[in-house]
Structure 1
Amino acid sequence: MLNDPAQPGRPGATIRPASPADLPAIARLCAAHAAFERADPVPEDLATRLAPALFSPHPRAWCLVVDHAGELTGYATYSREFSTWQGADHVHLDCLFVTEPHRRAGWGRALLDAVQDAAASAHGITHLQWQTPDWNTDAIRFYRRTGARALPKVRFSLPAGAGRRGETESRAMTP
């Protein structure tokens, strides 16, 4: 699985678990991924923020990277989540990204396969879930070719905490 010389791409490239030394490169990949998806820029201190989530004694998430002779050219991050309807855990694939020069060489599929393998072998989980922007037709085609099926959902985002209460209080005070 992870260091298999038969993996796609060029000789010397492997998929491996990320290490703390990879954090600056992972943050750069995340920034490129966010720009590609037309999202807000990542925080400048992203590498610092990711460190405890990925490398604490009880990590919240895991990261696999495509390492080509010391240059990281792709990554996948995932976490363990719970489905009330299934009464079971699943892996949420948060990010899967390969830089443009390395796309269409099989690295996206290799990363997805590696996440599936890690979910099953390291976490005992048999199901993955994720989302992609509806305009990203290349990703949608790619995921369908892997055998994944799209679910009809709309993803929402809502601030939590003090900012939300302030908005509610403002509306309540408006005549």
Structure 2
Amino acid sequence: MLPLIRSHAAFERAEAGIDVAALRSAFERKPSWLAAWIATQRGGPVGYATATVDFSTWTGRRFLHLDCLFVRQDCRGSGIGAALLYAVRAYAAARSLSEVQWQTPDWNEDAARFYRRQGASMLRKSRFVLRVD
């Protein structure tokens, strides 16, 4: 999964700082901090999705935060992204979570079109990051 994470970060013009130990730790915690789905083709990984459970103070309900959904560029358009999103949605429904939320870079128009085709609506917000040292 780590090579896909790095490919995803590079696609979004960023850098992934996670290593195997941190990723393993997120899965091994009880309860796990992270849920993940990996799509394979011909025995190799071609896409992944990761999510965490969060809580909205506005709605008073828990929701699933889709942290990442990525499909290798050479495999896009084949239904892999839709299958991953379906699995994420089913995971949320099985846990009685109110919705799935995520963000994508504003320049990624292909992703926005894909998400709209899947029935998602877009909220106009900007995401900020404040480092805590």
1:153 alignment partner, one of 109, 121, 125:
125
TM-score, normalised to structure 1, is: 0.73
Instruction: Give RMSD over aligned pairs.
Output: 1.2
Write out per-residue CA displacement over residues 105-163 of structure 1, whole angstroms, 9 at most, x where no aligned residue.
Answer: 00001100100001111x221300000000000000011111111101110011114xx
2:12 alignment partner, one of 21, 26, 37:
37
List runs of 5+ in structure 1 lacking aligned partners: 1-25, 162-175
What is residue 113 of structure 2 aligned with on the other side?
Answer: 141
List runs of 5+ in structure 2 lacking aligned partners: none
Mapped partners of 1:106, 1:154: distance in 2: 29
After TM superposition, what 4+ stretches of structure 1 lie above 3 angstroms from structure 2? none
- SS state at 1:54 partner: helix
Q: Which has the larger radius of gyration?
A: 1
- Identical aligned residues as a percent: 44
Counterpart residue identity of residue 113, structure 1:
Y
- SS state at 1:89 partner: strand
Q: Give 1:9-88 correspondences, 5 Å limit.
A: 26-39=1-14, 41-43=15-17, 46-88=19-61
TM-score, normalised to structure 2, is: 0.95
Mapped partners of 2:9, 2:25: distance in 1: 21
Structure in which a larger fraction of residues adopt helix: 1
1:112 alignment partner, one of 76, 79, 85:
85
